[in-house]
Amino acid sequence: MNRLVLALAVAPLALTLHSAPAGADSTTTGDRAAAPRQVFDVSDLDTGAAPRLAWAERTSASRVTIHGPDGTTPAAGDVRTFAPMGSGYVVQTGGARPPTVRWIAADGTPGRGEWRSGYGLAVSAGGEAVAFTGRRGRVRVIDSEGDRVLRMPSVPGRRGLNSPAVVFGEDCQESATSNGCAVMVNSTRRNVSWVTSSHGIVDRTQFQTVSTGRGRWLGGIVSRTDTGTCNTMRRGVRTAWTTCRNLLSVISPDKRHLVGTPAYADGFGPTRLDLLDLRSGDRVRSWTPDRRGRSATYFDQVWEDADHLLVVTFQAGEWAIVRLGTDGSMEYAVTPRADGGSMESPFLLQKG
């Protein structure tokens, strides 16, 4: 436990990894009142403002154009995910080849290094640190405007490539002004996750899979069955609530809401999206499928601000980026594009 006191200087959540069992102090969610619901039909929406966050559109099988607040950036390769960093972006390419991570400048010029990685990026709440994994349990973090790549202590999952889940802390180089950072990492071979910190601490978490985190909040999967999952949201040392009806996704910037996706992931993609109260787990609004099939499937999700969520949708052969309001509003942030026959989204939203 003495090591955990040191970890608290990086992220208060570190203590939750070794505290009481997941069931202690927990509350199983049950909505206090029926949440407003509406059909997730995006076939005929008004068009609003362009996304205020970065988004990308595929222009060919090996090139995307990233649209940012200050202009566009070309990125070569089969880009699978990306995150803003300094004056450019951290991009991960994949597809038929093993994933690789690199930093590119605003004009698309690649940085000095490129690394083979596991799938996915994890981004700190302030966007100042981006984590990725490598072989033999390696974990690296890019920060300081893309100019610095730091090695974190390796995690025990040395077979295969793990996936980063959450970064706590914005500056991973410990100093007089920085307490460093911690990265949550999921195994892709077993139902286990770890935390690695710049303090040198590496330990196993109580989650089978870490799904989301922000501030003192951390959530993820604690059990799996053939019909779904059970998920817990913790705040500090306490389990705030547990649900077996939703997987836990992105938390809003004001830490009032989070996205709940179906507890059992199957098929082309989810068709129901729930907004949950972060403190109770209650549903506060739901977008639901139409029984006649006149509704959307969705993919990437990122909070644009505390009141608006951006999602990539597919409906009736068209892809779009849709802005959902916590008040139930819906509009196009990027107008629909016809599917080219690949059934693969032409759009990517920044990782956040």
Contact predicate 103/82, CB 8 Å: no
Contacts of 213 (CB under 8 A, 6+ apart): 13, 165, 166, 168, 184, 219, 251
**For residue 63, which amino acid is it?**
R
Q: What is the pLDDT of residue 144?
A: 77
Query: What is the reported pLDDT for 19?
Result: 44
Which one, of 208, 255, 215, lies nearest residue 232 by Cα? Answer: 208
Residue showing tokens 């998920």: 231
pLDDT value at residue 257 = 98
- Does the pLDDT of residue 15 top 50, yes or no? no
- Please tell me the total count of domains within the chain: 1
In this predicted model, what pLDDT tens digit does every residue of 241-263 receive, in sequence order?
Answer: 999 999 999 999 999 999 999 99
Q: Which of 16-30, 69-83, 203-217, 245-259 has the lowest mean pLDDT?
A: 16-30
pTM for the structure as a whole = 0.91
Give residue 312's pLDDT band: very low, low, confident or very high (50, 70, 90). Answer: very high
Beta strands in 29-160 (DSSP E): 37-39, 55-60, 63-68, 71-76, 79-85, 88-93, 100-104, 110-116, 122-123, 129-133, 139-143, 148-152
pLDDT above 70 covers a percentage of the chain that reads 90
Domain range spanning residue 90?
2-349
Residue 109 main-chain phi, psi, to 5 deg: -65, 125
When the pLDDT of each residue in the chain is averaged and rounded to a whole number, the result is 90
Measured distance CA(226)–CA(261) in Å, rounded? 17
Q: Considering only residues 198 and 144, tell me which one the structure prediction assigns the higher pLDDT.
A: 198
CATH number at residue 171: 2.130.10.10
Among 14-23, 34-43, 133-142, 182-191, the minimum mean pLDDT is found in 14-23
